[in-house]
Amino acid sequence: MTATAPIRGEAPALVARDGQAPRPDSVPIDAPLALRGVTVSYGDRPAVFSVDATFPSRAMAAIVGPNGAGKSTLLKAALGVIPRLSGEVHVYGQPIDQARARIAYVPQRASVDWDFPTTALDVVRMGLYRRVGLFGRMSGAMTDRARACLDRVGMADFGNRQIGQLSGGQQQRVFLARALAQDADLYLLDEPFAGVDAATERAMIDVLHGLKASGKAVVAVHHDLATVRDYFDHVFLINVRRIAEGPVASTFTAANLQATYGGRLAATHLDTLDLATAAP
Amino acid sequence: MGAEFVQFSLTPILIGVLAAISCALPGNFLILRRQALVGDAISHVVLPGIVVAFLLTGVVATVPMLLGAGGAAVVAVILIEAVRRLGRIEPGAAMGVVFTTMFAGGVLLLEQSDTSRVHLDVEHALMGNLESLIWFRADGWGSLLDPVALADLPEELGRIAVVCLMMVVLTCVFWRWLKIATFDEGFARSLGIPAAAVGFGLVVAAAVAAVAAFDAVGSIIVIAMFICPPAAARLMTNRLGVQVAWSVVFATLSAVLGYVLAGYGPLWLGFGNAVSAAGMIATVSGVILGLACMFGPHRSRIGQPRGAGA
């Protein structure tokens, strides 16, 4: 990865403190997702404050932080699903609105009404809506591709099921299949493993690692500290402000986690985690 | 079933059917978005808007009525926000207070104003005037081919036919946007689809349907047309397209059966007078919903309740 400019100074915590610090004008051309000064507010309380982040290509990245730290908010604001108060979002060096075809998104499973009258296959076909537009014909080849995506997540036999009749894990697999149908370069997932069974989690990780192997980038909001090291290459720690970001090996440290979680992370919990040794 | 039917029953039935379909089409999406209350709200708010539009212009015509209803909707939104903030109460309560107050204001305004020349009074506001929308010039089925007689068709028929056509076209054109923005708004936005505009457009379309149907079935019973046919249709299928088709079938059935039962039902039972057609149409749609609840093939809810996102 070569950046066109150094992205941040020596003391990231200070950069984030007032939101006024000078930011580099250029964004790295090859970064799948780069955020600059993103602030989101619910009412008068900032949920995400002046966050800079740069996610690497050909990697699995996790956004990690305590409940209410703004993990999902950051992802949604990056996508424009919720409005940003300020800040810029670039995807592979382009403003996000010009690069939507390169993005796939898996929302939180609980964010939709699964009683909706539609089938698993039809949900996957929604991943093709951008391609077919309002009037384009959904060709047989496209439906075949949707079926192939269902097959990749082990759901080939469930295409005609009404989505409410699927288990939580199966629903999450259908959402992942829809993202696969989008055939993107950058995959953004919001808590993809929340409330799913172990077999689904394993199957999804295999698919995501396959995406990484084929040169795609994955960014996931993740809440399970115990699996960060197993699943991810890169970690972004957030608690309203950016705390730290970098390779898991050097960034996922006890000190950074304490800074992120404050008193909410018991020392005994830290002991059970497979943490990186202190950063060099 | 000849000349008399064409003269007295054909146009009211057609108007009833078109009004029911116009409301049922947007109603499908309102229900799936858990916004059925919006239909209720609209049906209340349009009344003072229509009355004020009449008082200002002195005529009952489509464009002033639509503008009046639109203005009333804007006033309603402002009032709701004001009540919510100043009264510090939850949005549902604020809506309930504003809609009922505005409707009551509309009723009072209507009683105080001189509307005897036109079909605009409290009774019509509540129940419509379907029975009076008859085709004087018609003297049999042949009149359908007679330009002179056709020119005399009640203008309400043309109005509701245009609105119904508009609803059909809008539903078809924006089908994919409506579907994705209703099922998964966040995903729709990530695709760059203007989900907020889709939601707003849906409410506007519902308001247009409500104003157009006001003539025929009255503002209160419009709510039954928004909710009952689509809700019953949801219980018949697990496919959105099929659901919308069922809702059209149920809307048509409610209008035809309701009109016939209102006209002839009491006579069959030995009573002297016919009853309100609009009331009977709403009742029939409720009965259909009840039957669908009991016998519909997809009446059990298996999916998880909607959870709260982090």
Decide if pLDDT at A15 tops 60: no
B34 lies within 8 A of chain A by CB: yes
Read off the pLDDT band of A268 (50, 70, 90).
low
Sign (positive or negative) of CA dihedral B25, B26, B27, B30: positive
Name the nearest CA neighbour of B161 among B204, B203, B223, B209: B209
pLDDT at residue A91, rounded to an integer: 95
Q: Is the pLDDT reported for residue B192 higher than 70?
A: yes
Mean pLDDT of A223-251: 94
Which helix (H) or strand (E) is B241 found in, with range? Answer: helix B240-268
Q: What does the pLDDT read at residue B306?
A: 40
Q: What are the pLDDT digits (tens) for B210-238?
A: 888 876 778 767 888 999 999 999 999 99
| Residue B310: band (very low, low, confident or very high) from pLDDT cuts 50, 70, 90 | very low
Question: What pLDDT sits at residue A264?
Answer: 67
Task: Compute the mean pLDDT over every residue in chain B, rounded to the nearest whole number.
Answer: 85
B255-269 pLDDT per residue, tens:
999 999 988 888 787
Under DSSP, the state recorded for B32 is H
User: What residues in A contact B173, CB-CB < 8 Å?
Assistant: 134-135
Instruction: Give the pairing of strands A217-221 and A234-239.
Output: unpaired
Average pLDDT over residues B177-190: 96
Contacts of B123 (CB under 8 A, 6+ apart): none
Residue A10 confidence (pLDDT) above 60: no
What average pLDDT does this structure show over B286-306?
A: 75
Higher-confidence residue of B122 and A81: namely: A81
CB contacts of B247 in chain A (<8 Å) are: none
Q: Mean pLDDT over residues B144-171, rounded?
A: 89
**Residue A73 banded pLDDT, cuts 50, 70, 90:** very high
Query: For A75-79, A250-254, B203-207, which range has the lowest pLDDT when averaged over its residues?
Result: B203-207
Mean pLDDT, range B126-132, rounded to an integer:
78
Q: What is the pTM of this model?
A: 0.86
* DSSP element (H, E) containing B172: helix B155-173
Residues B48-64: tens digit of each pLDDT: 888 888 888 877 777 78
The count of other CB atoms within 10 Å of the CB of residue B273 is 6
Which band of pLDDT confidence, cut at 50, 70 and 90, is reported for residue B154?
Answer: confident
Task: Look at residue B223 in the predicted model and tell me its pLDDT.
Answer: 85
What chain A holds in terms of domains, given with CATH numbers, is: 12-17+28-261 (3.40.50.300)
CB contact (8 A) between residue B303 and residue A123: no
The ipTM assigned to this model is 0.87
Mean pLDDT of B135-147: 81
Interface of B with A in 238-297 (CB under 8 A): 238-240, 242-243
Q: Which residues of B touch A74 (CB under 8 A)?
A: none
Q: Which whole number is the average pLDDT over A204-225? A: 95
The distance of A71 to chain B (nearest Cα, Å) reads 9
Say yes or no to pLDDT of B282 above 70. yes
Q: Tens digits of per-residue pLDDT, A74-117? A: 999 999 999 999 999 999 999 999 999 999 999 999 999 999 99
Q: How far is CA B287 from CA A136, A160, B235, B283, in A?
A: 40, 31, 14, 6
The region that residue B190 occupies, defined by phi over 0 for left and psi between -120 and 50 for alpha, beta otherwise, is alpha
| Domain annotation for chain B: domains and CATH numbers | 3-214 (1.10.3470.10)
Is pLDDT of A18 > 90? no
HEC-encoded secondary structure of chain A = CCCCCCCCCCCHHHHHHHCCCCCCCCCCCCCCEEEEEEEEEECCEEEEEEEEEEECCCCEEEEECCCCCCHHHHHHHHHCCCCCCEEEEEECCEEHHHCHHHEEEECCHHHCCCCCCCEHHHHHHHHHHHHHCCCCCCCHHHHHHHHHHHHHCCCHHHCCCEHHHCCHHHHHHHHHHHHHHCCCCEEEEECCCCCCCHHHHHHHHHHHHHHHHCCCEEEEECCCHHHHHHHCCEEEEEECEEEEEEEHHHHCEHHHHHHHHHHHCCHHHHHHCCCECCCC
Query: Of the given ranges (A133-137, A203-207, A269-273, B212-216), which has the lowest mean pLDDT?
Result: A269-273
What φ, ψ does residue B192 adopt, rounded to 5°? 90, 10
Would you call A81 and B186 a contact, using CB atoms and an 8 Å cutoff?
A: yes
User: In which band, very low, low, confident or very high, does the pLDDT at A19 lie, cut at 50, 70 and 90?
Assistant: very low
* pLDDT above 90 for B250: yes
pLDDT at B198 over 60: yes
Tell me what pLDDT residue B71 has. 87
Residue A87 near residue A241, CB atoms below 8 Å: no
pLDDT band (50, 70, 90) for residue B1: low
> Between these two residues, B91 and B294, which has the higher pLDDT value?
B294
Compute the average pLDDT of residues B106-124.
75
User: Quick one: tokens of B136?
Assistant: 């004087």
Pairwise CA distance, residues B85 & B256, whole Å = 45
The segment with the largest mean pLDDT, out of A39-48, A255-264, B279-288, B301-310, is: B279-288
Confidence of residue A16 (pLDDT cuts 50, 70, 90): very low
Hey, which residues does A91 pair with through a beta bridge?
A94
Hey, what are A40's tokens?
Answer: 């989101």
At residue B299, the pLDDT reads 67
Residue predicted with more confidence, B114 or B98: B98
Taking 80 as the threshold, does the pLDDT of residue B171 lie above it?
Answer: yes
When CB atoms are compared, the residue of B34, B189, B304 closest to A80 is B189
Question: Which B positions 153-192 lie with beta carbon below 8 A of chain A?
Answer: 173-177, 179-180, 182-184, 186-187, 189-192
Please, which pLDDT band fits residue A5 given cuts at 50, 70 and 90? Answer: very low
Question: Nearest-CA distance from B188 to chain A in Å?
Answer: 8
